[in-house]
Amino acid sequence: MSASVAVVGAPFLDLVFEGLPRLPAAGDEVVGRGLHVVAGGTAIQAIGLVRLGVPATLVAPRPGDLGGRIVAELLEREGVPWVGSPAGHAAATAILSSAGGVAMATAPGDGAISVEDIAAVGAGTVVLSLGRAHLRPPDARVCFVT
């Protein structure tokens, strides 16, 4: 497999609640205008690159749960290949958006990324978070993100 860019890290299943009249307090329920189910985390970077015409592959653990299957479908629709070792469950974030602000709740996923997973993509450029700098392939250009 070969891509121009390997985007390395954790994709998230983002559940975005739009148009809430306010953020709920403990025990409250509020009703918004809509719900958007989108790929978040590093998936956003890979999708953005592909939409700009840059061949990119997401390198991340591949969870087999419902959240992971939904993220895989969203990435496939966008034309983003996803490679990585199997994992148990996907990372997910609920984003509550109101005119007064935004609140988020996140559940991390599991799994690990190896240098070998990244090298197998054969990308000349790698996008990595600073916390994953140790995964930098020796011969690749790297774009660090925070």
| pLDDT tens per residue, range 70-108 | 999 999 999 999 999 999 999 999 999 998 899 999 999
Residue 43 near residue 62 (C-beta atoms within 8 A): no
For residue 2, pLDDT beyond 70: no
Question: Measuring CA to CA, how many Å separate 102 from each of 19, 73, 94?
Answer: 10, 27, 10
pLDDT at res. 23 = 94
Helix (H) or strand (E) holding 76: helix 66-78
Average pLDDT over the chain, rounded to an integer: 94
Residue 57 near residue 38 (C-beta atoms within 8 A): no
pLDDT at res. 3 = 73
The rounded percent of the chain whose pLDDT value lies above 90 is 90
pLDDT at res. 73 = 98
